[in-house]
Structure 1
Amino acid sequence: MTTTDHGPLLRVEDLVVEYRSGRLRAPKRVIDDVSLEIAPGETLGLVGESGSGKTTIGRAVLGLAPVTSGRILLDGTQISGLRRRERRDRARGVQAIFQDPYSSLNPSMSIADILAEPIREGTPASRRERVRELLDAVGLPADAGRRRAREFSGGQRQRIAIARALALRPRLIICDEPTSALDMSTQTRVLGLLRDIQARTDVSYLFISHDLGVVRAMSDRTAVLLGGRVVEEGTAEQIARDPRHPYSRRLQMATPVADPVLQARRREERATLLREQARSAAA
């Protein structure tokens, strides 16, 4: 795991998350003994199929999912298990960008009000100036603040969501499938914006996705999640090019490539791997 001389910005230690679906039923374990670290200015990609638990880890870091056991520390200070008010105070250091830009923005509020809402300090004039700074940071004109979310495209709405996440100058942003609802060209532009913001601000990202190709493009390191457990971790390039775990290889083979011959070969390799795993499970 990559750290700086001062230690990681985020440390997740032996995290367990369980949910109860009924009073008499045994709890369902959705995160099982996960440990992760993110250094300042680093992006850790968390990749896995739907149901692997990756969003639950992000929600646990945000204080939105219960932590059954283990610890979550931000810059050496524990942020898991805090009371609501304490969690709100700590939330300044961690913000989120969610998957759906259509439902994550209040349609009844102007963009200026959406961006100014989390900003408590300063005068009205200083908050208006901060809103202008945020719109400029994500490539939107100043007059966008007077409009409402329904007037913008999906890519523009996700830029607004990014601006809102930046409002409190967080040190860590949880990016939960932030481009999966966008078309390919818009996705590329939004990913480029996230990289530019990181270069300017040194913010860290926990980048959550089911797409190994997107994770490779965004991340310094990648952790592969299966059934609530990390089954492989390494540099983003190593996981994308030479994964060791069979599940990681399945994700690699499912990643689209431009070469039709290579794409066909990957489909056949994935089918062969799935057949081999099915035979091993039946043996």
Structure 2
Amino acid sequence: MNALLQVQDLVVRFPGRRRTSTTVIDGVSFELAEGETLSLVGESGSGKTTIGRAILGLAPVSGGSITFRGETISGIPRARRRKLARDLQVIFQDPYSSLNPSMTVGDILVEPLAAAGVAGGRARIRELLDAVGLPADAAARYPREFSGGQRQRVAIARALALDPAVIVCDEPTSALDVTTQARVLRLLRDIQRATGVAYLFISHDLGVVNEISDRIAVLHRGKIVELGDAHQVSTAPRHEYTRRLQMAAPVADPAKQRERRERRLGLLAQGRQDP
């Protein structure tokens, strides 16, 4: 695998009271290849979002390293981090709060282009809106005029503005209904096929990541407990915690719900479930 992004023995600690600290990420390692989707999945508090923030320079790195295209990017100066933003972008969880309500969509999209000194911003805006399935006249409207799914499309367009190599997708569908989730996931896959962008996809829902991932890393209490091919992790998980996540993932199909319930009972009968 030609690694684009490498995380090696990553440790993240946050200061606590009386000179103590809390270890949130404890020795996490993984690689992300060009054009790949690697998903980090786990319950709330497992550390998955903290890993994404550490990669983006928004959380402190207490140990280990993060490299991008062979260059160490953990702890780099702010000026270098700003330049790196052309290659590393993010889609945040909440499409309602991640867009400036006082700016038009056109201004939101031209902002990263102007900051990077990219010419031809208006033409690029039309390209970006078309890429995410929004009409050209969306540029003159404000975020409040759009639905949640449409706002997330604007956020995706903003992340794509500078043709990044990697996008950190931090729970990008969790604030959306199931139908809109499916549309956004399909859009992300289409964009990846067209551009070759790599996704680090962060989610608490194993059912969602099953739909988009090439590989899945399962986090529990700041450690990776399982990492493998998406099909293997979703259909034959090796770790008990992964099996619990799989059982907890919502399923719309009643027949699949019954099948999963029977499977869970079978695991219980074999004594493979936690008490």
Normalized against structure 2, the TM-score is what?
A: 0.94
Which amino acid in the other structure matches residue 262 of structure 2? R
**Correspondence for 1:180:** 174
Which amino acid in the other structure matches residue 249 of structure 1? R
Q: Give the whole-Å Cα distance in 1 for the aligned partners of 2:172 and 2:240.
A: 27
Where structure 1 has 5 or more consecutive residues not aligned to the other structure, the ranges are 279-283
**Correspondence for 2:186:** 192
Q: Give the whole-Å Cα distance in 2 for the aligned partners of 1:273 and 1:140.
A: 51
> SS of the residue aligned with 1:114?
helix
Q: How does 1:77-92 map to 2 (within 5 A)?
A: 77-92=71-86
Indicate which of 140, 144, 154 corresponds to 2:134: 140
Does 1:262 pair with 2:259? Answer: yes
Does 1:13 pair with 2:8? Answer: yes
Matched pairs, number = 270
Identity of aligned residues (%): 61
Instruction: Say whether the 8 Å CA contact 1:93–1:172 is kept in structure 2.
Output: yes
Normalized against structure 1, the TM-score is what?
A: 0.91
Indicate which of 209, 234, 244 corresponds to 2:238: 244
Q: Give the whole-Å Cα distance in 2 for the aligned partners of 1:58 and 1:204.
A: 14
Which amino acid in the other structure matches residue 117 of structure 1? E
**Correspondence for 1:31:** 25
Where structure 2 has 5 or more consecutive residues not aligned to the other structure, the ranges are none
Which amino acid in the other structure matches residue 80 of structure 2? E
**Correspondence for 1:281:** none
**Correspondence for 2:62:** 68
Q: How does 1:99-248 map to 2 (within 5 A)?
A: 99-120=93-114, 121-123=117-119, 126-248=120-242
Q: Give the whole-Å Cα distance in 1 for the aligned partners of 2:58 and 2:232.
A: 32
What's the CA shift for 1:264? 3.3
Per the alignment, do residues 60 and 274 of structure 1 end up closer, same or farther by CA in structure 2, a change over 3 Å counting?
Answer: farther
Q: Give the whole-Å Cα distance in 2 for the aligned partners of 1:67 and 1:269.
A: 42
What's the CA shift for 1:21? 2.3
CA RMSD of the aligned region, Å? 1.7
What's the CA shift for 1:149? 0.2
Q: Summarize deviations over 1:24-74 as a string: whole Å, max 9, x none.
A: 242100000000101100000111000000000000000000000111111
Q: Give the whole-Å Cα distance in 1 for the aligned partners of 2:270 and 2:56.
A: 36
Which amino acid in the other structure matches residue 52 of structure 1? S
Q: Give the whole-Å Cα distance in 2 for the aligned partners of 1:210 and 1:271.
A: 24
